A and B are shown apart, each in its own frame.
Chain A
Amino acid sequence: MSRIAPSDAQGAWYDRVRVGVVMLLATAVVLTFRDYGVTLDEGFHLSYGFHIIRFFGSGFTNLTALTYRIDYLYGGGFDASGMIFRAWTRAFLQPYEAIHLYGALLGVLGVAGTGRLTRLLAGPRAALLSVTMLATTSVYYGHMFNNPKDLPFAVGYVWGLYYLFRIFDAFPRLPRRLVLQASFALGMAMSVRIGGLLLLCYLGLLAFVFIGYYAWLTRDAEATYRTAKRTVVQALLVSGGAWFVMLAWWPWAMLDPIRRPLAALTRMSQFIDHRRYMPFAGEQVYNLDPPWDYLLHYFAFKLPEYVVVVFVAATFVGLGALVSGAYKSLGFRRCVQLGVLGIAIFFPPVYAVYKGSPLYDGLRHFLFIVPPIIVVVAMSADRLISEAQTRWGTAGWVAVVVVLAGLLGDQVATVARYHPHQYVYFNRFIGGLAGAHGQYSTDYYAASYKAAVQQLPQRLWDSEREKYLEGVYRIGGCVGEFRGLRNLPGNFIYKAPGDAPYDFDISFTRGDCHLKEAEHPEIYSVEVDGGPLTVVRDMRLISLPRERAARLRRLEQAEERRKEARKKAKKKRPKPRKKKPAKKTGGLQND
């Protein structure tokens, strides 16, 4: 069986346009990657990549990578390869620019992978749709540039799924090339996040289903045994290869190749190193005790409206097909592949909710299910086009395509409007970013500081030129020294909180940081779609008492919400069991 159905002329045309869309996306990336700010995680990942390369470069004597913060629990698939890319481009690009370009190109690769996956499942037209849809999904597009964990993992996840489905098509005889390709894709996904082990679970599931199906077809124990043996060996080969690729980027795991990755998985699934209150549906909730519908809200409000609607409809149609038995017309292999795609989308978030895993920063930890969601939406849209063509002929086909083009055009405009803050996008269901402000986490990654800081010299030069030339300005606030001074000339210095007074407060909206100095007038803010991201205040001036009162009122309200959330969290927490007094045995007691 060919892995991809032979293309007719129209199919080839769709394929060429799909390549064109990917090229267009790559062009947008190389033209704009310099515009993006540095996010909160990036500095640590840059250092981690450096330490991994030093670990190898020093002949395994520099061991910093084994203990570096909490990052040693992650593989260095992205960080270390990013370090190599930075070394190649260092004559032309600053380290952060280089890593933004590298991440974004990887994001483009993820879009291409989504196209491949869709083509495998539903043909060239659906593949074109999926590539266009994902490229214009703001939350994915925005994360491409400065998310060193979730985006690379999403790329690995979608390529991993693609190769898993190809493996399933080729079971039980996998060409060596496919084994190598799948091992690499799965291994790279796991080397970014150990959660990529899920892909190996899916592989096991696919192998199990294949063997079961073969047994049912042949009803021959000996033949089934031979096939099962071969299938399991090949699945193990792929898993072993993937494990090897993962370890190659992960110094800490190399020291105990089986136990340490599993220990990292356990630790990551109970990740409690970040503890904070965060806005959710207008309330303050604790990230270690998030409400069950936390992810549901974010997926409903952060994906484009049409994606949400079509995906929900497709889910119900899929369930209907499952109940009515209509799925049988798809054929066994396609049915299983779609089933695993559904599991790949629904299992991770449902499991996280079931386990009560800590959640924060919107949907970014579950960004990896966005490409598979887009695959489902693209397949549905493709089916819609076919149905319209069958029922209403060319007119129906054209009508659906026009509607789709309108929806995609709207998303292209959104991506442009939000530039370079696409990752904070909220859809119209919540009223855009303006509606989400204060209700949900928006610029949790602090990416908007760059845009805020870059405006300051020009504004001061325009308004107080003599003072600008002869003085040094002091900045402070939540911006921090690195993000504050990174894009400012030498006549700006940073004053840490509690240090001497400063001239300008630059604070983002996370944790109501922008309200802490609200008695001072706002001179400008970075806003997108009516929602503020970072506010710059002139600390040399005091604003009217009315504003101060309003600020205090807002702070009090925020504190009230926090207290309320704490109370709720306390109520929900199970009471500790009373320990039974230890029996006096006269011997040694346990600690």
Chain B
Amino acid sequence: MTEKQDTERIAEARREGLAALAIVSDPNCLPRQAASHLVGAWEALRGPPNEDDDLPSWVRRDLASAKVERREPTVKFLESCADEAALQRLSEDEMRALIQTLLARVRTHERGEATKEAADKSTFALWGRRFGAWAGIVVVFALVALRPWTYQGVGQWHGAYYPGKDFRGEPDVRREADVDFSWGALPPTDSIPSDRFAARFTTCLHLDEGVEAAFQLIADDAARLIIDGEDVIDLWDVKEGEKGEKGEKIEMPRSFGREYELDAGVHSVVVEYREEDEAAEVHFLATFDQDVPPGPLPSSMLEYPGETFDEDNPCGIE
């Protein structure tokens, strides 16, 4: 058979295949009406028949050898491929799948068997590129949205919660991202009472250069800030219900702030807190920029002192 004849019969197969597809896709036609076109397409694809090879056998062999189906063709499916009577019994989805298979075979014939492998590869590469592009886009969006570099992890503060208000007993220890708690009437941990407890928060502050910082401690009831062993803010003495200097009622929570100079290097920062009764809260704020109000200490400037450390020198400063 000449090359021209080959081209013509493949074109014929394509026409028949597309006609079958059009019928199956047309809601006003019954799927079985596509059967004759499908048989015509297979016949065109096969070319002049051999005497000892009927069409169903040829199609079965062609499909089985080519494996153009995504799944291995089932026996029932293969048997129906070129038998018009069997085709008419197929469901619409089966018919549609068969037509798609046929058209894939037509495309393969058009490209020539030699190029089939390359074509498969290029299809794979195309889908791979698409998938890669979409995955990349999703990753970029996720990075921009979630900003994982701002993730504070488990926190740089060592928090120790004591069941008594004088720091005695076995503490509950956990890492905290920040000293910013409003417990209200609830206990800070499962094993600590909601009243008459104490807590100590410890971290190591790293400064690249000396700064004039402003620290602020807000607490209900008592709290103090200790930097490098020195009391910087002390709100430890006043209790709930006590009167102030002028006899006025002291309203809780209380706030006290202080501007304080710090040299470059590592500084141990300790916040101690004591709860008497009723509501409980403690907040520690700081700023290193005179134009910005105090806020939480950035975790990037802090270092966790470890699970165990010397309480007099938690950061091991020499």
Contacts and interface: CB of A to CB of B under 8 A. Distances in A.
B145 A33 contact: yes
Contacts of A172: 27
B253 A92 contact: no
From A2, A217, A457, name the one whose CB has the most chain B CB atoms within 10 angstroms.
A457
Contact of A92 (B92, B141, B150, B251): B150
Given A91-B151, A101-B145, 8 more contacts: A217-B28, A461-B292, A470-B257, A472-B254, A489-B283, A491-B255, A491-B283, A491-B285
A232 interface: no
A27 B218 contact: no
B256 interface: yes
B59 to A, nearest CB: 24
Contacts, number: 80
A23 interface: yes
A486 B295 CA distance: 14
Nearest to A500: B251
A502 B243 CA distance: 20
Interface residues of B, number: 40
Interface string B23-35: 0111110010000
Nearest to A218: B28
A43 interface: no
Interface in A445-478: 457-458, 460-462, 468-472
9 contacts: A26-B141, A92-B146, A92-B148, A458-B292, A460-B293, A469-B257, A470-B256, A489-B295, A490-B281
Contact of B216 (A31, A101, A469): A469
From B31, B93, B294, name the one whose CB has the most chain A CB atoms within 10 angstroms.
B294
B317 interface: no
B173 to A, nearest CB: 21
A67 interface: no
B82 interface: no
A171 B254 CA distance: 72
Interface string A72-116: 000000000000000001011100000001000000000000000
B147 interface: yes
Given A460-B293, A468-B293, A491-B285, A93 B146 contact: yes
Given A30-B141, A176-B93, A458-B293, A471 B28 contact: no
B258 interface: yes
Given A468-B257, A469-B257, A491 B218 contact: yes
Contacts of B253: 472, 490, 493
A197 B182 CA distance: 45
A299 to B, nearest CB: 33
A263 B282 CA distance: 49
A89 B150 CA distance: 13
A455 to B, nearest CB: 11
A397 interface: no
Contact of B27 (A30, A170, A462, A490): A170
From B145, B182, B294, name the one whose CB has the most chain A CB atoms within 10 angstroms.
B145
B285 A489 contact: yes
A1 interface: yes
B144 interface: yes
Contacts of B106: none
B137 interface: yes
A327 interface: no
B269 interface: no
B255 A31 contact: no
B214 interface: yes
A27 B144 contact: yes
A173 interface: yes
Interface string A189-230: 000000000000000000000000010010000000000000
Given A30-B145, A31-B144, A469-B216, A173 B257 contact: no
A-side binding surface: helix, strand, loop or mixed?
A: helix
A530 interface: no
A264 to B, nearest CB: 34
B257 A472 contact: no
A469 B145 contact: no
Nearest to B214: A469
A497 interface: no
A341 to B, nearest CB: 21
Nearest to B137: A23
Contact of A470 (B24, B180, B255, B292): B255
B293 A489 contact: yes
Nearest to B282: A490
B146 A490 contact: no
Nearest to B143: A30
A30 B141 CA distance: 7
Interface in A507-538: none
Contacts of A320: none
Nearest to A33: B145
Interface in B1-46: 24-28, 31
3 shortest interchain CB distances as A-B pairs: A469-B257, A490-B283, A461-B293
A472 B255 contact: yes
A460 B257 CA distance: 14
Interface string B130-152: 00000001000100111110110
Contacts of A409: none
A457 B93 CA distance: 66
Contacts of B214: 469
